[in-house]
Structure 1
Amino acid sequence: MLIQSVFSAMREVFSPALRRILWKSIGLTVALLVLVWLGLTKLLDIFLTNHDLSASYPIVDSLAFFLAGFGLFVALIYLLPAISAIVAGYFLDDVAEVVEHKDYPSDPPGQALPFGKAILYGLRFAGLSILVNLVALLLFFIPGINIGAFFVANAYLLGREYFELAAGRFWSAEDVARLRTEHRGTVLAGGAVVAGLVLVPVLNLITPVFGAVMMVHLHKKLTRGQTGRIAAPRTGVASIEKT
């Protein structure tokens, strides 16, 4: 079930139907990472200027330059789960509509979450992800524990986030929580796949779209035959085109 969903996501994430969304997702992910990095760089510059460390310790300039390059790579890894949460919340309904229409044409279509609610979902998980990954970052220099802590924490967080976003198109919040609990092992394994992708440089930029496609398929497979309990379509929700 999970393996089928993973292969479906691998096949579809670069498909013509999703290519436009993928490029917009990558662009937004890169833009957010650059903004965060510029902010961190500015804070470092202010700190060094105020404390006049470069005058007292000339080597600090060289060290800061090195850390700027190395820090970007570290920031990409540790901030991408949080960035992914925001980007996924923004694009998931667009991705889900394409996948549902293409692969499940006979099923009732899902109802898009209100735009504000989808973003709030993403921000909530982004905040939680930042807190968890700050703890993982403290373990960065402990071999064996650093990657393990990062992977386990994000497997849980990403699995939960993507499943709730995908299932939320069909189910009430209470039913989403029940389904996630009933299938906690599969959802965690799905999160582990997404967390593993986050560790792959460059490819981790496709995490929001890949995770969304995979979890839409996984949700469909997990709830097959349970359509009688799907919540009634939401009303008054306007479709918003992301430009």
Structure 2
Amino acid sequence: MIFSSIADAIAQLSDPRFRSVLIKGVGLTLGLLAATYAIIFFAIQLLFPESITLPFIGEITFVDTLLSWASVVLMLGLSVFLMVPVASAFTGLFLEDVADAVEDRHYPNVATAPRVGLPEALREGASFLAVLILANIAALVLYFTPLAPFVFYGLNGFLLGREYFRLIAVRRIGRAGAKKAFRSNLMTIWSAGALMAVPLTIPVLNLLVPVVGAAAFTHLYHRIDARA
């Protein structure tokens, strides 16, 4: 059930609605990260002096420039970790389009689900982004131990599984029903989320995770519902 759901999601990647969501999510992410880099770069140049004098060393020039470029290098490194959660948050604003595309093609007899409003989508996206970042920061120490792969895939698999399943289920059975369904199918959802977490470590491919995840969990929800 899990593998067939992911396979069906991947098979539909050529759908124009999938591409539209991906382009909008990645475009907004790149714009936000670029703006953040620019703000930090110029803020450092404004706040720090051009040179400082250190005891026994003397004057060091171009301090602001060095710090500015160092901040860019640091942000580029951090973007490896930030790109996916930020892209997930932005793409999450449009994931209902993905779910609708899947249901139109594979579940035409299912009634159209009511759409979540933009304010709620923004709130949910920001909440998911915050939880994802904070949880990974809390687990950062473990990422430098032999347990790192298990912690990374286990933690992010749980978070991704919960988020994408809830996203689909709430549209159909409300928050209370989605929470109950999640608890009843925890291991299936967690396992599917862990598989979706694998591409997170692969550059470029990781940008597909939100779209494929939403599509795969749409299939998974309907198959769980049919089995119940």
TM-score bracket, shorter-length normalisation: 0.7 to 0.9
Correspondence for 1:172 = 174
What do residues 184-242 of structure 1 show as CA deviations (whole Å, max 9, x unaligned)? 1111112112221211101112222111111111111111155xxxxxxxxxxxxxxxx
- Given that 1:13 and 1:22 are in contact with CA atoms closer than 8 Å, whether structure 2 keeps it comes out as no
* Counterpart check, 1:22 vs 2:22: yes
**Which residue of structure 2 lines up, in the alignment, with residue 86 of structure 1?**
89
Taking the TM superposition and a 5 Å limit, the aligned residue runs for 1:95-134 are: 95-134=98-137
Superimposed CA distance per residue, residues 4-46 of structure 1 (whole angstroms, 9 cap, x where no aligned partner) = 0111111112333422222222212322333344455556667
In structure 2, what is the equivalent of residue 213 of structure 1?
A: 215
**CA–CA separation in structure 2 for the residues paired with 1:170 and 1:23:** 27
Change (3 A) 1:187 1:65: same
* 29-38 vs 46-55, which moves further: 46-55
Offset of 1:98 from its aligned partner? 1.1
Q: Does structure 1 conserve the Cα–Cα contact (< 8 Å) formed by 2:161 and 2:192?
A: yes
Write the deviation string for residues 50-109 of structure 1: whole angstroms up to 9, x where unpaired.
99599559899779746744641x423322343144224301111111111111101122
Q: Aligned residues, how many?
A: 224
Structure 2 stretches lacking a partner, 5+ long: none
Secondary structure of the residue that 1:168 maps to in structure 2?
A: helix
Matches within 5 A, 1:21-170: 21-39=21-39, 41=41, 49=49, 52=52, 56=60, 65=69, 68-69=72-73, 71-72=75-76, 74-139=77-142, 142-170=144-172
Is residue 186 of structure 2 the alignment partner of residue 184 of structure 1?
A: yes
Mapped partners of 1:105, 1:12: distance in 2: 15
Report percent identity of matched pairs. 27
The structure number with the bigger radius of gyration is: 2
**Aligned-pair Cα RMSD in Å:** 3.1
Q: Is the 8 A contact 1:78 1:133 kept in 2?
A: no
The question of whether the paired residues in 1 share the 8 Å contact of 2:41 and 2:72 is answered with yes
Q: CA deviation at 1:146?
A: 4.2
Work out the CA distance in 1 between the residues paired with 2:127 and 2:188: 23
The verdict on how the C-alpha distance between 1:170 and 1:149 changes in structure 2, with shifts beyond 3 A counting, is same
* Conserved 8 A contact 2:132-2:159: yes
**Offset at residue 182 of structure 1 (A):** 0.7
